[in-house]
Amino acid sequence: MMIKRTLSFVAAAAVSMSAMAWQPSGKVECLAPADPGGGWDFTCRSVGNVLQDLSLVDGSVQTVNMAGAGGGVAYAHTVSKRAEDDKLLVAASTATTTRLAQKQFPGMNADMVTWVGALGADYGIIAVGKDSEYQNLSELMDAVKANPKSVKFAGGSARGGWDHLKVLIAAKAAGADKLPSIPYLSYNNGGEAMSQVVGGQVDAFTGDISEATGFLESGDLRVVAVLSEERLPGKFSDLPTAKEQGIDAVGPNWRGFYMPKGASEEAKSYWVDAVDTLYASEQWKKVMKSNGLIPFHPPASKFDEFVRNQVQDIENLSREIGLLK
Amino acid sequence: METLGFLMEGFAVALTPYNLMFALFGAFVGTLIGCLPGLGPANGVAILIPLAFTLGLPPETAMILLTAVYAGAMYGGRISSILLNIPGDEPAMMTCLDGYPMARKGRAADALAVSAIASFAGGLIGTIGLIMLAPVLARFALTFGPAEYFALFLLAFATLGGITGKNPVKTVVAATLGIMISTVGIDISTGTQRYTFGVLELYEGIDFILAIVGLFAISELLFFVESRMGRGRDKMNVGKLTLTMKELVMTIPTQLRGGVLGFISGVLPGAGASLGSFISYTLEKQVVGKKGKFGEGDIRGVVAPEAGNNGASSGALVPMLTLGVPGSGTTAVLLAMLISLNITPGPLMFTQNADIVWGVIAALLIGNVLLLVLNIPLVGFFVKLLSVPPMYLLPIVTMVAFVGIYSISHSTFDLYFMVAFGVAGYFLRKLEIPLVPIILGLLLGPEMEKNLGHALVLSDGEWSVLWASPLAMGLWIVAGLGLILPYLVGPLLRRRMNAAMKESPVSD
């Protein structure tokens, strides 16, 4: 404990050295663009705790919930009312980039904020029922290529949402055409979609690995591919990736932050470093482990580019399936 | 056996001091709400929803609280039926028929006591039925595909007016309003925005809870302001308990019959507790025949409807928990609460949220015992509360409503919206348009639309898939019957039922 404390003090000291010009004093606000209890709320609360543990903030980190329009209300608030706030972090994830790409925040785009960094991810999976004829992703995608209507997918997001996009990313990587013809059934959440796949009404499930744990353990669901760069750690290490089956599809649902564009440069670089320090800390590793988060942390210099690429990719895909005109 | 294990785990959840405290509180408040004329169980639960959010209760505690309120309201309804000849809620209507005559003969205390016991028996039978039937039905529900679900929702809408519905046209208007409201927001099947007018706050659609609290609780306040019924009722005398053991034993068969019949009518969609108490009473009258003095203060005339409506209240939970289709107005409100707690009712809930489902079922059993204990010695206290002017009660309700809704999403927009719903609810009630079908339309409309879309995607646009399976076909037939029967049997039933009072627009 003692050693850990000292280490984190050293780490904190290192950060404050690199950004000596600016350090947050007093209360820091973390805006969760949803009701308490969801993923964004979790991001704010757990990061807030670890930031305080590591003494990266001298005051407290207060989580403020601002639900609405799938994050749109909080985005508009940050852009218009808090444009120069140095002490505001806003929780974000792939859902944010998806909505930005699909122009669902009217009059706003990804350039209007500063993307700070990611702190882990939940990876996409494609799974089938235990009695399905498809043993792996290649077989599944061969069927899709032969007849796009032959495999029906179910997921927990709206049409055009992240779960639907993962199917399209995989199908596109596998070389399928006629993407708009692939049937996708949207349910209110992953659980509902999975029970239809397990019950045999729908052929395949698209979702995140964390949703499927229960049905994986009971053996009712077979994961044909994880959409990650490499195999996932721990109990998921048996699950094949899409990449090793020759289909270059990656779908991380990352969790991270953006902050106001007009904040001072010192503050921005302070928060980027703080997120790096936090990600490297033992405390954060513990949080990731107990909440099923999988390592994902593009280097600070690359994160902005990563977000822009993701937005662009999603925009292209959405255009291709006719969701955007 | 497996069920028993789950039930034990449920008891472990429900018996923690924290949850037990809320069950007791809910049972008490529920009885109070039930005995105040005009405030039915649906209103009662709607009014308590914001409290659950204000206090930041965990899901299982929130559900235990609301279920206890529900059960309590079913008990409480009888008090004003017996003492004032005004049913506290619609299901308690039949209790007036023999309860009030008993009270006039100076046997008010007996009527209250025996009806509490009958409520207990009915609630117990209904809950046992729920425990046996729900897991079976939940497993069966896994075989439901989109086409079957579509037919099931169709059935729910077809039987919406219920056999007791007064004006079918107004029911249709109400349900349509609900469905219209539910289309606001991003449509999940197509990803397109509908009726959002570029207002960010409307993108996620309209929260059911907001609509429910506005329609029920805020409109209640407006009614109060209008009528200024600041004065309480005159004090009533309950008299002494003269109930004998022999009389009580005599009513046992009545209790059993009432409880079972009530449970069955509760399970049927659309029928609900009113039908449960009505059928129990009518059957009892026929079984006992000339030996009884029904209508003049026969003790069995009090027992039968009370056992019936409490049996039905547990029965109505069966389709709500297993299929996500509420069997009555109050269970619709409970369904909305479950959804906003991010719990999807249906087969999955019995495995993924077993602690909540079984905690709630165990709480129903415990609640019934608590209610029996509360209702026998404390009956005098509730009678006193009947004479408390509502001017002390409604401001508290309003305050809790505002704080609760604000604490859900921290948005002032939602508060304005809730008030708008309250004003709308006030005018709708003035027009005698029932509110419960609005809630059902709001809840079930999108589900029905979604399943229709899914069925058609799966069949590649072939409409016949909707009635292709025997199960779906059966549901279509029942839905058809549900639509036609009220026209054939309804007027007859209603004439016999309406002896006591005009139907309140806010009913179970």
CA angle B312, B317, B322 (to 5 degrees): 140
Domain that holds residue A308: 2-121+254-320
How is residue A251 annotated by DSSP? -
Domain end residue (candidates: A224, A245, A266): A245
Please count the CA atoms within 13 angstroms of the CA of A104 that sit on its side-chain side.
Answer: 33
Instruction: Mark yes or no for CB contact B144/A198 under 8 Å.
Output: no
Look at residue B277 in the predicted model and tell me its pLDDT. Answer: 83
CA angle A301, A305, A306 (to 5 degrees): 105
pLDDT tens digits, residue range A57-69?
Answer: 888 888 888 877 7
**Residue A44 counted as domain residue:** yes
| Residue A65 in contact with partner chain B when CB distance is under 8 A | yes
Q: Which residues of B touch A96 (CB under 8 A)?
A: none
Domain end residue (candidates: A198, A223, A245): A245
DSSP H or E stretch at residue A225: strand A221-226
| Gyration radius (Cα) of chain A, Å | 20
- Contact between B494 and B164 under an 8 Å Cβ cutoff? The reply is yes
Assess whether A206 and A226 both reside in one domain. yes
**Residue A38 counted as domain residue:** yes
pLDDT tens digits, residue range A281-319?
Answer: 999 998 888 777 888 899 888 899 999 999 999 999 888
Number of neighbouring beta carbons within 10 Å of residue B441: 24
pLDDT tens digits, residue range A101-121?
Answer: 988 888 888 889 999 999 999
Assess whether A101 and A24 both reside in one domain. yes
Assess whether A195 and A133 both reside in one domain. yes
Query: Is the pLDDT higher at B409 or at B14?
Result: B14
- Best CA proximity match to A86, nearest among A142, A28, A36: A28
pLDDT tens digits, residue range A201-248?
Answer: 899 999 988 888 778 888 889 999 999 988 988 888 899 999 999 999
CA atoms of B17 and B311, how far apart (whole Å): 27
Q: Which residues of A touch B460 (CB under 8 A)?
A: 149
Going by pLDDT thresholds of 50, 70 and 90, the confidence category of residue B375 is confident
| Residue B462 in contact with partner chain A when CB distance is under 8 A | no
How is residue B215 annotated by DSSP? I
Query: CB-based burial of residue A218 (10 Å sphere; 0-12 exposed, 13-18 middle, 19+ buried)?
Result: exposed
Round to the nearest angstrom and report the end-to-end CA distance of chain B. 34
CA atoms of B221 and A121, how far apart (whole Å): 48
Q: How many domains does chain A have?
A: 2
pLDDT tens digits, residue range B18-64?
Answer: 999 999 999 998 888 888 776 778 888 888 888 888 888 888 899 99
Assess whether A47 and A136 both reside in one domain. no
Domain end residue (candidates: A193, A212, A245): A245
**Residue B77 counted as domain residue:** yes
CATH number, domain at A159?
3.40.190.10
pLDDT tens digits, residue range B336-356?
Answer: 888 878 777 877 788 778 888
Instruction: Mark yes or no for CB contact B409/A67 under 8 Å.
Output: yes
Q: Kindly state the average pLDDT of the residues A36-53.
A: 84
With a CB-CB cutoff of 8 Å, which residues 174-213 of chain B face chain A?
186-191, 193, 198, 200-201, 203-204
Domain that holds residue B109: 2-84+94-142+206-433
Number of neighbouring beta carbons within 10 Å of residue A45: 16
Dihedrals φ, ψ of A195, to 5°?
-65, -25
Sign of the dihedral through C-alpha A93, A94, A95, A100: positive
pLDDT tens digits, residue range B403-448?
Answer: 888 877 677 888 999 999 999 999 998 998 888 888 888 888 888 8
Name residue A253's beta-bridge partners: A122
SS3 assignment, position B152? helix
Assess whether A232 and A144 both reside in one domain. yes
Assess whether A273 and A217 both reside in one domain. no
**Residue B494 counted as domain residue:** no
| Residue B344 in contact with partner chain A when CB distance is under 8 A | yes
Assess whether A223 and A258 both reside in one domain. no
- Contact between B121 and B248 under an 8 Å Cβ cutoff? The reply is no
**Residue B487 counted as domain residue:** no
Q: Kindly state the average pLDDT of the residues A270-280.
A: 91
Assess whether A228 and A283 both reside in one domain. no
Residue type, B146: P
- Of all residues in chain B, the one with the smallest CA distance to A35 is B409
Put simply, whether the predicted model's pTM sits higher than 0.80 gets the answer no
Q: Which residues of B touch A70 (CB under 8 A)?
A: 186, 203-204
With a CB-CB cutoff of 8 Å, which residues 109-148 of chain A face chain B?
none
Assess whether A127 and A236 both reside in one domain. yes
- Contact between B228 and B431 under an 8 Å Cβ cutoff? The reply is no
- Of all residues in chain B, the one with the smallest CA distance to A194 is B348
Q: Compute the nearest-CA separation of B110 from chain A (Å).
A: 49
- For B70-74, B191-195, B312-316, B393-397, which range has the lowest pLDDT when averaged over its residues? B393-397
pLDDT tens digits, residue range B225-253?
Answer: 777 655 555 556 666 777 778 888 888 88
What the block records as the tokens of B92 is 């308690």
**Residue A325 counted as domain residue:** no
Instruction: Mark yes or no for CB contact A201/B458 under 8 Å.
Output: yes
With a CB-CB cutoff of 8 Å, which residues 194-233 of chain A face chain B?
194-196, 198-199, 201-202, 214
CATH number, domain at A85?
3.40.190.150
| Residue A322 in contact with partner chain B when CB distance is under 8 A | no
Share of chain B above pLDDT 90, in %: 18
Look at residue B283 in the predicted model and tell me its pLDDT. Answer: 83
**Residue B310 counted as domain residue:** yes
Assess whether A68 and A212 both reside in one domain. no
Instruction: Mark yes or no for CB contact B410/A65 under 8 Å.
Output: yes
Q: How many domains does chain B have?
A: 1
**Residue A218 counted as domain residue:** yes
